[in-house]
Amino acid sequence: MTTNLLDQERIELQAKAFEVGDLENELQRQANELETLRNSTKKEMEQLREEHALEIRDLLNELAYQEGLNATIQKELSTSRHKTSLLSTTLADARNQTNDNYSLLRNERCKTTRARSSIKATETILLACELDIRAAEEQLQALQAANEQLAATIKALDNRTSKENLQISDARGRAPKVTSNAIAKAKAKALTFKLTKGGVYTPQAHALGRKLESHGRSQEFVGVAIQDVCKAAGVKCDRRMSRRTVGRAIGEGVVAAKV
């Protein structure tokens, strides 16, 4: 039984050996095919390298050109950035200047508004002045008409004055004679100022006594003052007003004033 097992294992080993031989042959065949494929690929690569060498060189030249162009662009970009920085500074200055100009513009607008208001007020004043001038012209016309009328009146008065001057001249010629006649008549007729009527002092006498007393004469000398005035005027006074009468006249005046 052990021999059978060994034979069976031997047979299996032989079978596996055949399989391994087949595998080695297959591997050798595949290795040969791979070598053939490698050689073919190498040839194709060399052909492709030869075929694309010019294209690669052109690409390298293009790459070098692009690198130079990129360097130029970088330089220009740096210059542009510097210019942009300068422009930013200039823009900031321009903004500040714009703000200053806006402030100036706002101030000028305020001045313009005030000037317009002043002009409007001036126009109003001018309009009022024109109205005043028109009114003054109308008044001037009225005054001119009045002056013309006044001139006519003055002319008429001159004519009338001339006539009156002639009459005055005639009257002056007659005046000495008329005056002498009047003086003669006055002397011929004795004038008397009567303080009483029917034994009673007249209201005019009382008023005269109050008047003299109010002008600083004492009540005692009012009667004397009346006589002196009458004497100076060439008029006789019928009696002297007493101090008591003057006081009574003043009292009557106070009562009359209260009523």
Q: Does 29 or 53 have the greater pLDDT score?
A: 29
* Residue 164 confidence (pLDDT): 67
Looking at residue 184, what is its pLDDT? 60
Q: What is the mean pLDDT of residues 190-200?
A: 80
Within 10 Å of residue 242's Cβ, how many Cβ atoms? 15
Residue 190 has pLDDT above 60, yes or no: no
Q: Are 237 and 226 in contact (CB under 8 A)?
A: yes
Report residue 172's pLDDT band, with 50, 70 and 90 as the boundaries. low
Q: Where are the domains of the chain?
A: 124-189, 192-258
36-77 tens-digit pLDDT: 888 888 888 777 777 777 777 777 888 888 888 888 888 888
pLDDT of residue 92: 83
Q: Is 239 exposed, middle or buried (0-12, 13-18, 19+ CB in 10 A)?
A: middle
pLDDT top residue among 196 and 160: 196
Instruction: Give the span between the Cα atoms of 207 and 222, in whole angstroms.
Output: 12
- Computed over every residue of the chain, the mean pLDDT equals 79
Tell me the C-alpha distance between 103 and 231, whole Å: 98
> pTM to 2 decimals?
0.29
Using CB atoms within 10 Å of the CB of residue 151, give its burial: 0 to 12 exposed, 13 to 18 middle, 19+ buried: exposed
- The mean pLDDT of 151-165, rounded to a whole number, is 76
Looking at residue 13, what is its pLDDT?
77
